[in-house]
Structure 1
Amino acid sequence: MNQTTRDRINFTNLNVTNNATLFTIKGEPGKLIGDPYLDTTWQAGNVKFYNKVGVSLTNDSLAGVPVRLDLSTNEVEIKAGPKSVKAVKSSAVRYVDRNNLFGSVSRFVNVHEYQGEAESLTGFFEQLVNGGKLDLLQYPSVYIRKANYNVAMNTGTKDDEYMKKLDWYVARDKKAVKFSPGKKTILELMDDKKEQIEAFLKTQKPDLKSRSGLTTVFAYYNKL
Structure 2
Amino acid sequence: MRLLFTALLLTLAPPFAQAQEEFMTQSTRDRINFSNLNIPTTGILFGIKGPAGKVIGNPYIDTLWQAGNVKFYGRLNAKTDSLAGVPVRIDLLANEVEIKAGANDIRATKAATVRYVDMNNYRGTSSRFINVREYRGDADELSGFFEEVVTGKFDLLRHPTIYIRRANYNPAMNIGTKDDELMKKTDWYIAYRKRAVKFSPSRKALLELMPDHKEQMEMYLKSKRSDLKDRADLMALVLYYNSL
TM-score tier by shorter-chain length is: 0.7 to 0.9
Partner secondary structure for residue 156 of structure 2 = strand
Partner of 1:170: 190
Q: Does 1:69 align with 2:90?
A: yes
CA offset at residue 195 of structure 1?
1.3
Q: Gapped runs of 5+ residues in structure 2?
A: 1-53
Q: Could you tell me which amino acid in structure 1 is paired with residue 164 of structure 2? A: I
Task: Describe how 1:55-94 pairs up with structure 2 within 5 A.
Answer: 55-57=77-79, 59-94=80-115
Partner of 1:39: 62
Q: Gapped runs of 5+ residues in structure 1?
A: 1-30
Which whole-Å CA distance do the structure 2 matches of 1:105 and 1:142 have between them? 22
Which whole-Å CA distance do the structure 2 matches of 1:56 and 1:84 have between them? 23
Once the two structures are overlaid, the 10-residue window that deviates more, 207-216 or 195-204, is 195-204
Residues 176-216 of structure 1: per-residue CA shift (max 9 Å, x gap): 12110111111111110111111211222221111111100
Q: Does 1:220 align with 2:240?
A: yes
Residues 118-161 of structure 1: per-residue CA shift (max 9 Å, x gap): 1111100001011x221111100111100000010101111011
Which whole-Å CA distance do the structure 2 matches of 1:219 and 1:148 have between them? 43
Which structure ranks higher in relative contact order (CA pairs < 8 Å, sequence separation ≥ 6)? 2
Task: Describe how 1:174-213 pairs up with structure 2 within 5 A.
Answer: 174-213=194-233
Partner secondary structure for residue 78 of structure 1 = strand
Partner of 2:175: 155
Q: Does 1:140 align with 2:149?
A: no
| Aligned length, in residue pairs | 191
Which ranges of 4 or more aligned residues in structure 1 deviate by more than 6 Å?
A: none
Q: Could you tell me which amino acid in structure 2 is paired with residue 222 of structure 1? A: N
TM norm structure 1: 0.83
Task: Describe how 1:108-127 pairs up with structure 2 within 5 A.
Answer: 108-127=129-148
Partner of 2:118: 97
Which whole-Å CA distance do the structure 2 matches of 1:36 and 1:167 have between them? 17
Q: Could you tell me which amino acid in structure 1 is paired with residue 187 of structure 2? A: D
Which whole-Å CA distance do the structure 1 matches of 2:104 and 2:200 have between them? 42
Which whole-Å CA distance do the structure 1 matches of 2:188 and 2:74 have between them? 29
TM norm structure 2: 0.76
Q: Could you tell me which amino acid in structure 2 is paired with residue 152 of structure 1? A: A
Q: What RMSD, in angstroms, separates the aligned Cα atoms of the two structures?
A: 1.0
